[in-house]
Amino acid sequence: MNPYRFSPDNAAPASPARRALLAGAALLTAAQSLPALAQLQTNLNELPPLPAMEEFLAGRRVQFARMQLEIPRVADNGNSVPIKLGVLGANAPGAVQSIHLFSEKNPVPRMAVFHFPPAAARFDIESRVRLAGTQRVVAIATLADGTLCVKVAEVLVAIAACLDGS
């Protein structure tokens, strides 16, 4: 009596019908992953679904213009990613009221809000942020007249090569 349920003899599918079924299943799985491949080309001209951001927008329309968001395409380390924010053409006092920064995948989606006083005349900000994995970040500037200018960027965040338990 063979003590093993699956011996080498039993491993390969025996009948042609079974082989066809398995081949079909493999093809179906491959086909289903094609849309995922298409998603690798992230659309930066649409806002990612983000409840915290939607709450802030409260249904207001946004313009994909003027907002400048400089962030590396590939981050050296997700713990500290350099970021530059700015609003093109905004150089009059009070031109920008605030800049919001949202994260698609961080546990705290509303990363930062920069509030400018009416006397402010230059709205460039540089800082360093934490990103919990590859994701999109969204910068939204609220101009003096209430216009919302938006920019979306995607950052690839790799984990460290060697785990560090020091």
Partner 1 sequence: MARRAAIPLALIGAGAALCVSLAYAQSPAARAIPLTELKSGLAYTGEDVRALQADDFANPGMLWVERGEKIWNTPAGTSAKSCAACHGNAKSSMKGVAARYPAIDAKSGRLFNIEARINASRTGQQQAEAFAPESEDLLAITAYVNYQSRGAAVGVAIDGAAREHFERGRAFYYTRRGQMNMSCATCHEQNFGKRLFAETISQGQPNDFPIYRLEWQTMGSLHRRLRACLYGVRAELLPIGSPELLDVELFLAWRAQGLKGEAPGVRR
Partner 2 sequence: MADARIQVPPQVRRGENFEVKIAIRHAMETGYRVDEVGKPIKRNVIRELVCKYNGAEALRVDMSSGFAANPLLQFWLVAVGSGEVAFEWVDDAGTRYAERAALTVAG
* Rounded least distance, CB 110 to partner 2, Å: 7
What are 73's two structure tokens? 């395409």
What are 21's two structure tokens? 């079924």
C-alpha 44/C-alpha 36 separation (Å) is 16
Q: Pick from 74, 127, 156, 158: which binds partner 2 (CB under 8 A)?
A: 127
Question: What does 76 interact with, of partner 1, partner 2, none (CB < 5 to 8 A by kind)?
Answer: partner 1
Q: Which residue has the tokens 């599918």?
A: 13
* Rounded least distance, CB 125 to partner 1, Å: 14
Question: What does 161 interact with, of partner 2, partner 1, none (CB < 5 to 8 A by kind)?
Answer: partner 1
71 close to 82: Cβ distance less than 8 angstroms:
yes
User: Which CB sits closer to partner 1, 10 or 79?
Assistant: 79
Q: Is 125 in the site for partner 2 (CB under 8 A)?
A: yes
- Check residue 63 and report its DSSP letter: B
What are 25's two structure tokens? 């299943």
